[in-house]
């Protein structure tokens, strides 16, 4: 594997529910290059989080199950690893931060203790070494008086500071990949700006690859180099960040960008809105999942599901329609 | 946008809402959460006033206190010239027909055991408007207004998606033909593609019925889109109030400047050219707010005077109010 750090191919994940099987991810393939930040965008239920959770073996099973696919990381297939094996990858080489910093920390353990644990597990440090490193890490993520605050409990930290602790924890074993699952969604905009700046700085200092999952196209524009747009369990568009925003090509991406008012524009006309609502995936789609909401939908779109095809170098789209002319590509 | 008059529909005058904190065996009051601490503004008939701020700044409490869902600690609220504070229950009940509210969470604000028809008809029943048949017709009409199929009236809320539920909430708010609606973060729980649908609907209804909105939100881009004038709150106080384009192009208060610069723009090239003001630290506790200016602990330009006295909320340009000592 020359330049792909993580290479995911044909990933499928399903969930058994009382109402039937939900096809959350339906054959997703992507690569993560060394040192890049990859944004994964989509609305709730599009499969963006499930995709990354599947790769790390974090899908609760039952009811969830990864039914197909491969995910290569340094020549090893993460999806074929035993629980014990993947436990040593997770947290050490690939680590994750979650959306809700309030619920992802243990309320009855001190911050210091929670930072120590992964260090002792993955790097074999002694208790004192780990504690020293923990203080260093808190300083790195910009928490003042780091040493004194190691003995505090999570409730003594504010939301933004808890997310910083989560980041410190994720970085503690110097991972090659950091997966951030909507890390700023629960935070206010001024705190979100702090966290985004922090992650950008750490990326430069530590040189890791980042997968940033979000529903906010604005955040992606500021942090990612490449973007995947997901809908109905599929990747429907993939492009470099500049290309995606300058030349959005899937009707869904176009609709999403059109429905966002911009804080820097004095445009007060009617917002472009996508009619209808996202699909619930009780069946694996046999047609384009976006067809029911698409104003360009042709006969073919109701019969087959378009594959992700390149339209230019590094820009791939799963759609037959050229939205500029309204005709078939 | 629509027929805006210069008639003041709602006038809020130095409104305060402090929630007491009780401690100990005797439940003595040991302090108070200063959720809203002296807020004044006016809303003209037919306009949308946006109220923005971060979580915990008191924007929702302001909305609820204006509607007398909380009994305010001090201050007055004049609606169509009548002071709502201290109004007798019976008189308040009559006024409630004309002031309504749309809530943030479309999952929690609808009773799961009532059908959609019952939910939308409830305000009509409570206020004794019309006979059974008239109410039925009115409900069907209201559902059509918010683009829901009246045939769905016998279904329960769980059968609807988030965006559809919010439409039910809007139909309920419209049932009594109000003139003023407090929209408390009506779109923040919805997906991006659905948000635009609901905002467009709110704008259409405003035009059709000459409604006046107090639109509470933390999404500054959406507020710029929907509001005519915007008030920025921080820790229980309004920091700045101006016409929307004036506020966004010429923000005067350091907090407004930082807040606007923190909003990400969905355009990588424009975003990389912007200058960011990153605020240090977090919002202080409203139990024990800083002396003088509430913002001084995080303000990049704070001076000695900011700790000593509370800045007056004054008009610096016509229609542009700001509460800061250092703005000329």
Question: What does the pLDDT look like over A207-221, one tens digit per residue?
Answer: 899 999 998 888 999
Q: What pLDDT band is residue A243 in, cutting at 50, 70 and 90?
A: very high
**Is there a contact between B75 and B85 (Cβ–Cβ < 8 Å)?**
yes
On average, the pLDDT of chain B sits at: 90
Whole-number pLDDT of residue A143: 83
CB A124: neighbour CB atoms within 10 A?
Answer: 9
Q: Which of residues 97-156 of B touch A (CB under 8 A)?
A: none
Q: Which of residues 18-77 of A touch B (CB under 8 A)?
A: 43-44
For an interface test with A, the pick among B193, B204, B220, B245 (most A C-beta atoms closer than 10 Å) comes out as B193
> Does the beta-carbon distance from A262 to B265 stay under 8 Å?
yes
Whole-number pLDDT of residue B69: 92
Residues of A with Cβ-Cβ distance to B279 under 8 angstroms: 190, 193-194
For an interface test with A, the pick among B57, B192, B221 (most A C-beta atoms closer than 10 Å) comes out as B192
In this model, does residue A173 exceed pLDDT 80? yes
Distance from C-alpha of A131 to C-alpha of B311, rounded to nearest angstrom: 46
Q: Which of residues 107-166 of A touch B (CB under 8 A)?
A: 158-161
On average, the pLDDT of chain A sits at: 87
Distance from C-alpha of B296 to C-alpha of B304, rounded to nearest angstrom: 10
Q: Is B204 exposed, middle or buried (0-12, 13-18, 19+ CB in 10 A)?
A: middle
**Is there a contact between A115 and A164 (Cβ–Cβ < 8 Å)?**
no
Q: In the structure encoding, which two tokens stand for residue B182, read together?
A: 């407090």
ipTM of the complex: 0.79
* A307 φ/ψ sector (left φ>0, alpha ψ -120 to 50, else beta): beta
Q: How many CB pairs under 8 A join A and B?
A: 133
**B51: nearest Cα among B228, B295, B277, B215:** B215
Say yes or no: B269 contacts chain A, CB-CB below 8 A.
Answer: yes
Q: Least CA distance to A188: which residue of chain B? A: B54
A132-162 confidence digits (pLDDT tens)? 889 988 888 888 888 888 899 988 888 888 8
Q: Read off the pLDDT of each residue in A107-136 and give the average, rounded to a whole number.
A: 89
Residues of B with Cβ-Cβ distance to A256 under 8 angstroms: 192-193
Instruction: Looking at the complex, report in whole angstroms how far the Cα of residue B268 sits from the nearest Cα belonging to chain A.
Output: 4
**B269: nearest Cα among A243, A282, A48:** A243
> Does the beta-carbon distance from B262 to A222 stay under 8 Å?
no
> Does the beta-carbon distance from B192 to A277 stay under 8 Å?
no
Distance from C-alpha of A239 to C-alpha of A308, rounded to nearest angstrom: 11
For B262, the closest of A189, A241, A278 (CB atoms) is A189
In this model, does residue B66 exceed pLDDT 90? yes
> What are the residues whose beta carbons fall under 8 Å from the beta carbon of B91, sequence distance 6 or more?
none
For an interface test with B, the pick among A188, A257, A267, A280 (most B C-beta atoms closer than 10 Å) comes out as A188
Q: Read off the pLDDT of each residue in B169-176 and give the average, rounded to a whole number.
A: 94
Distances (CA, A) of A294 to A24, A239, A250, A297: 21, 21, 10, 5
Angle between helices A127-140 and A159-171 in degrees, nearest 10? 130
Say yes or no: B200 contacts chain A, CB-CB below 8 A.
Answer: yes
Whole-number pLDDT of residue A122: 83
Distances (CA, A) of A19 to A280, B67, B159: 11, 42, 13
> What are the residues whose beta carbons fall under 8 Å from the beta carbon of B287, sequence distance 6 or more?
B21, B31, B32, B33, B34
CB A129: neighbour CB atoms within 10 A?
Answer: 14
In this model, does residue B11 exceed pLDDT 60? yes
Residues of A with Cβ-Cβ distance to B265 under 8 angstroms: 218, 221-222, 262-264
Q: Is A102 exposed, middle or buried (0-12, 13-18, 19+ CB in 10 A)?
A: middle
Distance from C-alpha of B45 to C-alpha of B43, rounded to nearest angstrom: 7
Q: Which of residues 41-60 of B touch A (CB under 8 A)?
A: 54-55
For A188, the closest of B195, B218, B267 (CB atoms) is B218
Distance from C-alpha of B148 to C-alpha of B167, rounded to nearest angstrom: 8
B173-224 confidence digits (pLDDT tens)? 999 999 999 999 998 888 888 888 899 999 999 999 999 999 999 888 889 9
Distance from C-alpha of B224 to C-alpha of A268, rounded to nearest angstrom: 8
Q: Three-state secondary structure along B128-150?
A: CCCCHHHHHHHHHHHHHHCCCCH
For B192, the closest of A194, A219, A260 (CB atoms) is A260
Taking the mean position of all CA atoms in its chain, how far away is CA B166?
16
Residues of A with Cβ-Cβ distance to B160 under 8 angstroms: none
> Does the beta-carbon distance from A272 to B193 stay under 8 Å?
no
In this model, does residue B4 exceed pLDDT 70? no
For B266, the closest of A257, A272, A274 (CB atoms) is A257
Instruction: Looking at the complex, report in whole angstroms how far the Cα of residue B178 sits from the nearest Cα belonging to chain A.
Output: 24
Say yes or no: A217 contacts chain B, CB-CB below 8 A.
Answer: yes
Q: What is the dihedral sign for C-alpha B273, B277, B283, B289?
A: negative
Q: In the structure encoding, which two tokens stand for residue A114, read together?
A: 């929670």
Whole-number pLDDT of residue B5: 62
Q: Least CA distance to A221: which residue of chain B? A: B268
> Does the beta-carbon distance from B259 to A245 stay under 8 Å?
no
Whole-number pLDDT of residue B35: 92
B107-162 confidence digits (pLDDT tens)? 889 999 999 999 999 999 999 888 889 999 999 999 999 999 998 899 999 888 88
Give the ranges where B43-145 is alpha helix by DSSP (H).
59-66, 89-96, 116-126, 132-145
A67-82 confidence digits (pLDDT tens)? 899 999 988 899 988 8
> Does the beta-carbon distance from A188 to B195 stay under 8 Å?
no
Q: Does the N-terminal peptide bond of residue A297 adopt cis geometry, omega within 30 degrees of 0?
A: no
Say yes or no: B191 contacts chain A, CB-CB below 8 A.
Answer: yes
Residues of A with Cβ-Cβ distance to B269 under 8 angstroms: 242, 245-246
Distances (CA, A) of A187 to A19, A161, A184, A219, B230: 34, 10, 5, 13, 22
In this model, does residue B163 exceed pLDDT 90? no
A221-231 confidence digits (pLDDT tens)? 989 999 999 99
> Does the beta-carbon distance from B276 to A197 stay under 8 Å?
yes
Q: Which of residues 195-214 of A touch B (CB under 8 A)?
A: 196-197
Whole-number pLDDT of residue B297: 92
> Does the beta-carbon distance from B54 to A266 stay under 8 Å?
no
**Is there a contact between A65 and A12 (Cβ–Cβ < 8 Å)?**
no
Q: Is B208 exposed, middle or buried (0-12, 13-18, 19+ CB in 10 A)?
A: exposed
Say yes or no: B197 contacts chain A, CB-CB below 8 A.
Answer: yes
Whole-number pLDDT of residue B194: 86
Residues of B with Cβ-Cβ distance to A193 under 8 angstroms: 261-262, 264, 276, 278-279
Q: Read off the pLDDT of each residue in A312-319 and give the average, rounded to a whole number.
A: 90
Say yes or no: B225 contacts chain A, CB-CB below 8 A.
Answer: yes
A21-63 confidence digits (pLDDT tens)? 889 999 999 999 988 999 999 888 888 999 999 999 888 888 8
Q: Which of residues 246-305 of A touch B (CB under 8 A)?
A: 246, 255-264, 266-268, 270-275, 277-278
For A43, the closest of B191, B258, B272 (CB atoms) is B191
B236-265 confidence digits (pLDDT tens)? 999 999 999 999 999 999 999 999 998 888
Whole-number pLDDT of residue A268: 66
Identify the residue whose tokens are 């109030």.
B241
DSSP designation for A90:
B
Return the percentage of chain A with pLDDT > 70, whole number. 98
């Amino acid at each position: 594997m020359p330049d792909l750090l993580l290479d995911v191919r044909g990933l499928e994940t399903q969930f058994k529910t009382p109402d039937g099987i939900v096809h959350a991810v339906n054959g997703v393939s992507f690569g993560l290059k060394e040192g890049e930040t990859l944004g994964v965008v989509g609305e709730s239920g599009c499969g963006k989080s499930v995709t990354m959770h599947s790769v790390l073996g974090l899908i609760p099973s039952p009811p969830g199950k990864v039914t197909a696919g491969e995910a290569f990381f340094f020549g090893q297939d993460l999806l074929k690893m035993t629980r014990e094996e993947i436990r040593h990858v997770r947290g050490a080489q690939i680590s994750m931060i979650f959306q809700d910093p309030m619920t992802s920390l243990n309320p009855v353990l001190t911050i210091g203790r929670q930072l120590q644990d992964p260090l002792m597990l993955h790097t074999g440090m002694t208790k004192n070494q780990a504690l020293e490193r923990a203080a260093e890490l808190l300083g790195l993520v910009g928490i003042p008086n780091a040493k004194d605050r190691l003995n505090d409990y999570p409730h003594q930290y504010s939301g933004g500071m808890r997310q910083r602790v989560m980041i410190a924890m994720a970085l503690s074993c110097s991972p090659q990949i950091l997966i951030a699952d909507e890390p700023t969604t629960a935070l206010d905009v001024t705190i979100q700006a702090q966290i985004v700046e922090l992650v950008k700085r750490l990326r430069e200092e530590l040189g890791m690859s980042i997968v940033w999952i979000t529903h906010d196209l604005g955040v992606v524009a500021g942090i990612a180099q490449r973007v995947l747009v997901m809908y109905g369990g599929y990747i429907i568009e993939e492009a470099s960040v500049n290309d995606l925003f300058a030349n959005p090509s899937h009707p869904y991406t176009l609709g999403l960008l059109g429905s966002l008012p911009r804080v820097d524009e004095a445009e007060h006309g009617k917002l472009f809105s996508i009619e209808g609502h996202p699909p619930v995936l009780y069946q694996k789609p046999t047609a384009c999942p976006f067809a029911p909401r698409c104003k360009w939908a042709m006969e073919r779109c109701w019969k087959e599901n378009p594959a992700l095809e390149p339209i230019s170098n590094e820009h791939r789209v799963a759609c037959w329609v050229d939205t500029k002319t309204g005709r078939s590509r | 946008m629509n027929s805006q008059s210069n008639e003041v529909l709602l006038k809020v005058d130095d409104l305060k809402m402090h929630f007491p904190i009780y401690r100990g065996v005797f439940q003595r009051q040991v302090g108070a959460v200063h959720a809203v601490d002296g807020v004044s503004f006016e809303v003209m008939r037919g306009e949308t006033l946006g109220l923005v701020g971060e979580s915990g700044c008191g924007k929702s409490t302001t909305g609820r206190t204006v509607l007398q869902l909380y009994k305010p600690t001090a201050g007055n609220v004049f609606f169509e010239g009548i002071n709502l504070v201290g109004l007798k229950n019976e008189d308040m009940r009559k006024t409630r027909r004309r002031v309504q509210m749309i809530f943030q969470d479309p999952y929690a604000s609808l009773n799961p055991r009532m059908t959609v028809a019952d939910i939308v008809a409830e305000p009509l029943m409570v206020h004794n408007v019309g006979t059974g048949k008239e109410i039925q017709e009115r409900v069907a009409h209201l559902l059509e207004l918010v683009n829901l199929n009246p045939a769905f009236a016998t279904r329960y809320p769980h059968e609807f998606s988030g965006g559809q539920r919010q439409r039910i909430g809007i139909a309920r708010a419209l049932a009594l033909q109000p003139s003023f609606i407090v929209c408390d973060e009506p779109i923040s729980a919805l997906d991006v593609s659905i948000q635009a649908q609901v905002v467009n609907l709110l704008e259409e209804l405003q035009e059709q019925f000459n409604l006046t909105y107090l639109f509470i939100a933390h999404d500054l881009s959406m507020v710029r889109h929907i509001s005519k004038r915007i008030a920025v709150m921080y820790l229980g106080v309004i920091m700045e109030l101006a016409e929307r384009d004036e506020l966004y192009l010429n923000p005067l208060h350091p907090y407004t400047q930082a807040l606007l610069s923190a909003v990400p723009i969905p355009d990588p090239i424009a975003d990389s050219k912007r200058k960011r003001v990153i605020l240090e630290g977090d919002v202080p506790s409203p139990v024990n707010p800083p002396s003088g200016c509430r913002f001084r602990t995080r303000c990049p330009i704070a001076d000695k005077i900011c700790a000593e006295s509370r800045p007056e909320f004054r008009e610096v340009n016509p229609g542009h109010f700001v509460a800061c000592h250092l703005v000329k």
